[in-house]
Structure 1
């Protein structure tokens, strides 16, 4: 016999140990109770031949049954329960479990459906009797009571599902996923059930889901998983909700599922995710805070949390949550205006709903950044709000005191007849009964405290969400913009509304705005979208009035607006965030690249909304962790989703780096550092992803002892800008792949291939992952021409072959390139070996004159083919005379000519630090070093700015004339003399 059934059917106890902390209960029963009720119950008890109880015990029982008709009716049916109540405490209350509900001594899971439904109802009735008895005697806390009811609901749901799966086993078998694993119905508990806060006579709000489409296997008949889980869901509702001679278990409400009553009863998780991402409404975000998987395996729970969190919690400060709450507040106020609703302790003014909304608003507003707010339980969140300063301790104490009182009143109302009600009684007798039930000396005392607490709650509620009317009134022309978007467009009206803006070409700007407002996308928007656009324009024009180049900003912002017309919630976020529009204007002014990035990928606006992250790009370790967390949320085998996620990650990080560049928060060198770290983090992840793909198909490469090698024996070497810590916003990656696997051995999989073929395919896979286009673009363009023997060489070379080639066959220009090479990703041991090879090659003794001749010859060849300068008109910053390449070639000469004597010259691979080391060891003068470094930094800064404006690298001749002449002089000195 299990614990709860022992309690229901077990031995009788006659010793009174149960506490009564309600001094008014017994007195109320003696003065106003129904004596016939007690006499009838005593008669029924005696007829059952149960042990004799003392007068004191019957007084305690009388106190409870006089205030609860449900308690009285159930004890009449089960008089043996009386003896269990008198020694009941929260600690001795048996915890409900699936085992209690299903398992009997002789036939596990074999009870018929009628017996199961009776068992569920019997257990529910016993538990409710115990809880009401403890509650009216104030012997159980609110947390204990609501947690127990939640455990009961969880047990009933899971027991029913287990029975149904067994019931359908022979007929339909089991639902399976694509890997042959069994699937179960995922039951998502919403509202108080999800938060562990269920009340005495609550219905339960459920959503049904399953993880993956497929068909059932192993039964006489196969069904699609959709059909199978729909049948299970329907049976589950029947088991819990149907009212029969034994009553019901829980009223089941399915209206919170996608599309409500018109939606499918069961959805797979992909469909659920698509719904919330594309059509999820504001009230559903609030509802989803409390959503909890109450039936399903750990994988189901993880998958659901993965889809839930991005919908509910945004990583920026989510000011749209307040706007949504205002709408919900207005809806509630309309409900309150209905007759009698002011007496509803849940929905009425200052009721339970307002306390929940205060907490939930803070959760949604800050939960993306503060993960401890991402919990379903109000009990856990409310104290944390004071701990972290979201509310004061006094506010939290006040809300908690009010919440406990309101919930106790709710339980009192529902404990009378097991009715789901939150309406305060209007009859005097019922009011006095409720007061005694809650431990008050009369209705007047209870009513006064209730209204006092409710007024405090409502004050806090209004303070949190009330619109700033002064701010709204201060926003010029807001109503006029709304009229403009809703009615016939007037050019004169646009001119008037934008009169404060100092347009450079007024007619052109007005034409642009008129074309936008008249466009098909705007005209056919929903009214709420047009309202949001109007609010945005009113805010935007205020900011634009102080802008020096408003025409350019308008042109670029309109492009972004066209891209977000279908997701106007972004406009709400911009308007609610005081600084977001300012950031938008500044970044659009300074960067055509930024405008293009946002219009192509509107979700990047998320980054704009949080100044804390926008202007503080993460370091390399933080990038690694952020990317790891993103990829952990995706199915391991969904390579396309991971590719797309990495591209979105790159775009969001580059946006943040560009914002810091434009606003000069990061100096040039740090900008390149961050862009280079980003490339390294993505390369390492791409390498691991490619490795996983190939080892799944061919097994692992083996070593000389025939043991599998579980980590890639590969190093990814970066040349040029990636090797030199100088990546720009649109830089490609010059890469070389090197390995040290034994080429004569093979992989250990069923589709075995030799190690050389494996690593060649690994290199191909890496390039594919980097260069393939997804919906979010591609990661990087890749240039492999610097590998040994160029395009005619092997895609992946061994370290030994690479060393041999560099020593015997490489041209001088290839050794020049090696000065700006370093490992970016891969095996640490191989990375160290590559560094040794690089040092070995660079430190070779060279004839300075011959070396100089080759360097000058290569430079002139490049200038002839690549310099796009126009004489006396334009200067090609990179390839022109006195440009970047002249500086790089001089530095490369110094490294190759002097590293044999000064090995410290090989320490770094970037030009700036190489020049600094060269000056330290005396192979270049301090004056020349400063001239080269200053010009190099200035050139690179110009290139960054031109890239952000989507312009080439050519500038007017006079723009950098002084630096160009300085570097040209140093180049001629280098050509004609032995020193720089």
Structure 2
């Protein structure tokens, strides 16, 4: 290698830096010299021999990102040293004044982007230098980083607002008052506690409706501010050769990604008043106006304060925060984030939760608890005697240590992470940055002590009380004796004596096979001990089951599934309630047992009986899923897909648990299973849309907050009759003209965009991951079936339904609903559906076609079971499909004279409409509805027992006779 002219090695001693870092620093030093001018080289040589030498070594050792910035911009560090900026924290006004002068010279978007990035990077270098060398306190670092972000957002907004006014005119309220965008910062930036590599959570709002004036083309205020918001995000978030300014996250706005980018104050206040969730209260604790019209921003936050802080003592906040923490803990386990100093046990998030718990409970009465900064709140908790002074001292010390550790981790590569490095150079650098030199063990011990204290205090304040370990039953001795002498005959005899009945022989065989199998023999001693501690407990609990042996046969596959993850056994050992619920559910349903065996992560759901047997309403499902997805990086599709799958699995389990225990009736079961699917579809559409827009831009004209895309649900989804294993019959529509083109760097015409959107939605739904597929999807009901376009335009769909669709396709249209997407397009579809269903038809021809289609289905789908003294609940004569076909015939035959028949898509409400219209007597309607419910209830029970939809030929005879009689009268009589 040819060394640069004048290059001198640093010759770092082990006293100055550990050897593993010295070599890295030498390489950074060489890289710097290769890019310096001669005068700069001389300065660096002199500086490296000055009293500041150790600062240079520490900064280069602890932050390769800083060293690279110095190499890319060799003049920056000399400027910062000579101007003495490196020695002190800057006043808030200095940030904006300096950036304003620089931005004044920017005459286009590219110049502004470079100006902002250079400003950010230069000050990031300064802040990191001060932080790793402990020239700054933690408070200095947090304040500087937050002030840097405030300045960048505010000055960028000012420049972009002026440019857009020149193009589109000035936005004004109806009374002529000029309007400005209001930028609300949430999270760490809102609290003035930004970290070194954090993204920034923002909400955009504007005070009043109106339109722009002063330009040849006028926009309404929302369109203007949406355009301005898009430009602001692009100026800050887009990665260029100079990097980005800050990653911008807008998902905390009302309705998340599916909501408009900018919203008026009135709409924002109405949203929080009518739809705001507990987690949104939690988020708004740290809300702060950082840019735009600050007076209006403060007015908005004042209006929202009653939503955040209740006038009364609100102890429900404990449960809300506990639930949020529980969800985070599950994410930590699933994503193996135990070494994450933010989310892991005893991490930063737990300290924040402790403070915010008291804020939400008492903030309405104690205004001092409405402060934004955690380090202001904690001392107040001691002053008010809500927490002992020692606890607060330990939390403050831990917070400072953890936040300094977080900054040191992020300084390494300027990456948004809180994950501890597991070994190597990065871990040594972290130890050095934290003041422990190369004594990594001492650093780790200190960190562990802080986390342990935090976890303890968190448990005392917010975590649910731990269940005491179960006291062993005296009768466990017989089970331990049985396991010590694992003879199959003796095992069978013991099971028989305990009441395990006729299946005891098979249960004994499988139990002996399990314990003598290779999987158990290969287990480490600790895991095997857990297994042998667990078995006596579960066997004793099984004695309380209605069918102990059958239930044991269902539990054994679950035990086999967790042999490599015996933490699940510990969960069941230490939580008798969860273990009892496991036995109860597996006793009631082999389907539930198989779900738990396939996905043991669902055992977490058994810990809380209230949660397990309580199914949230749809709004609660929406809120919960949104919280889960907000904790995931918006470009991490794999993690989003896993979160969606876990959400669905958990809530379907809750529905099944509620059904088998009798707390949820049949109609509610189908409703909730349908709600779950709708909420998932809505989130999948959001994710797929955002993914595609990131790549290709949006095809929707600016200022239009509709997506012009609709997902239709056919069949059981459309009729709100989903079962546990139902697939989704879907059709996709769009209504953008074909000449619309997306506005990204890789533009697509509207047709291609929506086709790719449909493909991405199907991929997210059907891809098999660690947690399986979300749903099986059937797209064959779209126009022209499998040979048709994946996404139809609304015009083409309408033309097809009017002129080409078969009668059976109009039958299918009876049970179709818009389940996700554009509300305006959904209204258009509803109008079209009603129009098609109410077409004039020849009643005799229609009846012949419906009867002919029913006979084809019966001939093709009805099994030979009818000949074997069994009745097929769905396809059998007088069964479910006969009722469905009669309902569909009635809607197609009579809707022209009776339009209300088109209002509903589920069979029961359509039957009720027939009675209301005087077409069927109320008594006959009730009889048909009762028969329909009886069939479906039996089908649900069989599904949970993993049995086919077949019953004895003598069962439900009265109901079948009634349906057959109605079929004869309506469909076959002259």
TM-score band w.r.t. shorter chain: 0.5 to 0.7
Aligned residue for 2:605, secondary structure, equals helix
Quick one: distance in 1 between partners of 2:793 and 2:351? 60
Aligned residue for 2:502, secondary structure, equals coil
CA contact (8 A) 2:886 2:971 kept: no
Deviations along 1:751-806, whole A, 9 cap, x unmatched? 33332222222222222222222222112222222222223322222222222222
* Residue 119 (structure 1) shift: 9.5
Aligned length: 613
CA contact (8 A) 2:719 2:907 kept: yes
Aligned residue for 1:797, secondary structure, equals strand
Deviations along 1:106-158, whole A, 9 cap, x unmatched? x99996587358999xxxxxxxxxxxxxxxxxxxxxxxxxxxxxxxxxxx999
Quick one: distance in 1 between partners of 2:476 and 2:721? 48
Mapped pair 1:822 → 2:817: yes
Aligned residue for 1:115, secondary structure, equals coil
Quick one: distance in 2 between partners of 1:903 and 1:364? 49
Partner of 2:155: none
CA contact (8 A) 1:874 1:956 kept: yes
CA contact (8 A) 1:553 1:588 kept: yes
Mapped pair 1:838 → 2:833: yes
CA gap 1:968/1:374 in 2 versus in 1, 3 angstroms: farther
* Residue 571 (structure 1) shift: 1.6
Aligned residue for 2:576, secondary structure, equals coil
CA contact (8 A) 2:479 2:539 kept: no
Partner of 1:296: 196
User: 2:542 is matched with which residue: 522, 544, 551?
Assistant: 544
Deviations along 1:53-93, whole A, 9 cap, x unmatched? xxxxxxxxxxxxxxxxxxxxxxxxxxxxxxxxxxxxxxxxx
Mapped pair 1:917 → 2:948: no
Aligned residue for 2:711, secondary structure, equals strand
User: 2:661 is matched with which residue: 660, 663, 674?
Assistant: 663
CA gap 1:157/1:596 in 2 versus in 1, 3 angstroms: farther
Normalized against structure 1, the TM-score is what? Answer: 0.56
Normalized against structure 2, the TM-score is what? Answer: 0.56
* Residue 690 (structure 1) shift: 2.2
CA gap 1:297/1:550 in 2 versus in 1, 3 angstroms: same
CA gap 1:737/1:468 in 2 versus in 1, 3 angstroms: closer
Partner of 1:901: 897
Aligned residue for 2:867, secondary structure, equals coil
* Residue 953 (structure 1) shift: 1.7
Aligned residue for 1:472, secondary structure, equals coil
* Residue 378 (structure 1) shift: 7.2
Mapped pair 1:962 → 2:862: no
Structure whose alpha-carbon radius of gyration is higher: 1
Deviations along 1:623-650, whole A, 9 cap, x unmatched? 2222222222222222232223212221
User: 2:555 is matched with which residue: 557, 565, 572?
Assistant: 557
Quick one: distance in 1 between partners of 2:673 and 2:546? 30
Aligned residue for 1:712, secondary structure, equals coil
Deviations along 1:284-303, whole A, 9 cap, x unmatched? xxxxxxxx999633249999
User: 1:741 is matched with which residue: 720, 736, 744?
Assistant: 736
CA gap 1:647/1:112 in 2 versus in 1, 3 angstroms: same
CA gap 1:921/1:399 in 2 versus in 1, 3 angstroms: closer
Quick one: distance in 2 between partners of 1:170 and 1:293? 26
CA contact (8 A) 2:58 2:132 kept: no
Partner of 1:618: 616
Quick one: distance in 2 between partners of 1:794 and 1:379? 51
Aligned residue for 1:778, secondary structure, equals coil
1:216-227 counterparts in 2 under 5 A?
Answer: none
CA contact (8 A) 1:158 1:295 kept: no
Partner of 1:676: 674
Quick one: distance in 2 between partners of 1:940 and 1:494? 41
* Residue 544 (structure 1) shift: 1.4
* Residue 900 (structure 1) shift: 1.6
Mapped pair 1:892 → 2:888: yes
CA gap 1:761/1:375 in 2 versus in 1, 3 angstroms: closer
CA gap 1:905/1:240 in 2 versus in 1, 3 angstroms: closer
CA contact (8 A) 1:501 1:544 kept: no
1:152-167 counterparts in 2 under 5 A?
Answer: none
Aligned residue for 2:789, secondary structure, equals coil
Quick one: distance in 1 between partners of 2:930 and 2:825? 35
Quick one: distance in 1 between partners of 2:548 and 2:522? 28
Quick one: distance in 2 between partners of 1:593 and 1:407? 46
Mapped pair 1:530 → 2:525: no
Name which of structure 1's ranges 491-500 and 830-839 shifts more when overlaid on structure 2: 491-500
CA gap 1:294/1:521 in 2 versus in 1, 3 angstroms: farther
* Residue 847 (structure 1) shift: 2.7
* Residue 482 (structure 1) shift: 6.1
CA gap 1:764/1:530 in 2 versus in 1, 3 angstroms: same
Quick one: distance in 2 between partners of 1:526 and 1:482? 20
Partner of 1:633: 631
Quick one: distance in 1 between partners of 2:740 and 2:603? 51
Partner of 2:27: none
* Residue 167 (structure 1) shift: 5.9
Partner of 1:206: none
Partner of 1:78: none
Deviations along 1:656-714, whole A, 9 cap, x unmatched? 111111112111111111111111111122222222233333332255xxx58664211
Aligned residue for 2:51, secondary structure, equals helix
Unpaired runs of 5+ in structure 2?
1-42, 75-126, 139-191, 202-245, 248-317, 330-342, 363-380, 397-456
Mapped pair 1:503 → 2:538: no
* Residue 935 (structure 1) shift: 1.3
CA contact (8 A) 1:700 1:709 kept: no
Unpaired runs of 5+ in structure 1?
1-106, 121-155, 175-231, 242-248, 251-291, 304-359, 409-456
Aligned-pair Cα RMSD in Å: 4.6
CA contact (8 A) 1:708 1:748 kept: no
Deviations along 1:531-574, whole A, 9 cap, x unmatched? 32223222212221122211211111010011111211112222
CA contact (8 A) 1:886 1:971 kept: yes
Partner of 2:764: 769
* Residue 590 (structure 1) shift: 2.5
CA gap 1:578/1:397 in 2 versus in 1, 3 angstroms: farther
Partner of 2:235: none
